[in-house]
Chain A
Amino acid sequence: GAVVSQHPSWVICKSGTSVKIECRSLDFQATTMFWYRQFPKQSLMLMATSNEGSKATYEQGVEKDKFLINHASLTLSTLTVTSAHPEDSSFYICSASTHRVDTQYFGPGTRLTVL
C-alpha cells in the first residue's frame, strides 16, 4: 500500500529556533497533503491543507507566519515551525492523498519538544 514517511520522528530543540518537518509520499504522487497537530491527551487538529505548487490553506487560528508549509513537489511537503516556543511542543502528523481524494495516507507523526 501507499506509504507516507515523516522525518524526523522526534525532535527536541531550544526555544527560539526553527524546526523543519518533512512529509514524503514514498510510492505515489500526492497532489494534496494535510498537516495536523495533536496536543497531549487531546484530539487531532487540522492545521492546513496544501496542494502541490500552490500556497497552503490554513485553518482558522493557525498562524501562517509561524507554521510555514511548502509543497514544492508531488512527493514532499515540509512544515517549518519558526521561532519555536514550548507551547509549540506537540505531535505533528501529515497525510497525503492523490487525485482520489477520498483516500488519505498518514505519516507516523513527528513529536516536537521545545525546551
Chain B
Amino acid sequence: KNEVEQSPQNLTAQEGEFITINCSYSVGISALHWLQQHPGGGIVSLFMLSSGKKKHGRLIATINIQEKHSSLHITASHPRDSAVYICAVDNMDSNYQLIWGAGTKLIIKP
C-alpha cells in the first residue's frame, strides 16, 4: 500500500462543476503540500497545510490530521484548471523526506 494515496486518478468534468480531489496518507507528517502541474511545465505549489483549511481564489484545501486525510476543492471550475494535481507529505519519520502521491489528472471541458 502506498503511503500517500490520491483519488481519483483521473477526473473529467464540465466547466462550472465543483471539483474534489482526495489525499490520504499513512505516515506521520509535519506538513502536506498540494501542487499543480500543467502539461509540459514544472510544478506550482498551491498550498502547504499543517492543519485546518486554506483558501486561495477558487481553490480550497483542507486537512484532517486525526483522519490523515486532505482534500483539494476547486469551485466554479474552468478549462484552465486542467492539470495534474499532486499531494505530497513531509514525512516526519524519514527526516521529513517528501512522499508523493501519484497525482490526479483533471480535465475540465468547456
**Co-assembled chains A and B:** yes
* Chain A interface (Cβ < 8 Å from any Cβ of B): 1, 9-10, 34, 36, 38, 40-46, 49, 91, 93, 95, 101-104, 106, 108-109, 111
A108 engages B98 (CB within 8 Å) = yes
CA distance A109 to B37 in the complex (A): 18
CA distance A20 to B39 in the complex (A): 29
* Secondary structure class of chain A's binding surface, majority of residues: strand
Could you write out 23 A-B pairs with CB less than 8 Å apart? Answer: A36-B43, A38-B98, A41-B30, A41-B31, A44-B33, A44-B35, A45-B45, A49-B42, A93-B98, A101-B40, A102-B39, A102-B84, A103-B84, A103-B103, A104-B37, A104-B43, A106-B88, A106-B98, A106-B100, A108-B97, A109-B98, A111-B96, A111-B97
Name the distance in Å between A48's Cβ and chain B's nearest Cβ.
9
Sort A-B residue pairs by CB-CB distance and give the 7 closest, nearest first. A43-B45, A46-B42, A102-B39, A101-B40, A106-B100, A43-B48, A44-B45
Name the distance in Å between B93's Cβ and chain A's nearest Cβ.
13
Nearest residue (CB) in B for A95 is: B43
B95 interfacial contact with A, CB 8 Å: yes
In chain B, positions 22-42 with a C-beta closer than 8 Å to chain A are 30-31, 33, 35, 37, 39-40, 42
CA distance A15 to B32 in the complex (A): 31
